[in-house]
Amino acid sequence: MGKQIARAYRGRRLDVVVTMDHGFVFAADLVRQIASPLVCHFVRELVSDVKQGQHARREVFFSGARPDLKGRDVLLVDAVLDSGVTQEFLLRRLGESQPRSLRLAVLLDKPDGRRVDLEPDYFGFQTASNQMWIGYGLADGSGGGRNARSLSAKRVSASNRKGRR
């Protein structure tokens, strides 16, 4: 994937925006494979459920300084694309700064779980949305397992799928 990305940018500087807490291990390995000049920026998502009268909705915020990306080539890197809501929100925010290009790279693409019209520009693997992946920077439900060197899948029930990215 890194070689494919490097070919797409042909030696131009690339601004890589990495989502923490999920994408850091994948991003570290990916950027080492991109033979183009690059700068990394890091954002952390803050998700909260807000109740409005009878209805609850999920709000997504991102902390961290917003980089100046006007006229730049930007690659958003995340580990998992499931519902797409979080990534779509962040892509819209990054697009407000008018980059030259804006693309998305993910390790795992779960197209069956998509709730928005969003496809990654680059992905490592497509997988079923009813699987939770643990290891390689991805945590299990209790926050553990991030340090496992390889990915392992765990089947999850539909009622247990909160926090889909």
- Does residue 82 have an active-site annotation? yes
**17 CB-near residues (< 8 Å, 6+ apart):** 40, 41, 42, 43, 67, 74, 75, 76, 77, 90, 94
When computed from its CA atoms, the radius of gyration of the chain, rounded to whole angstroms, is 16
Could you tell me where the beta strands, DSSP code E, fall in 8-37?
14-20
- Burial class of residue 130 in the structure, from the number of CB atoms within 10 Å of its CB (0-12 exposed, 13-18 middle, 19+ buried): middle
Looking at 21, 82, 109, 117, which residue is catalytic?
82
Active site (catalytic) residues: 82
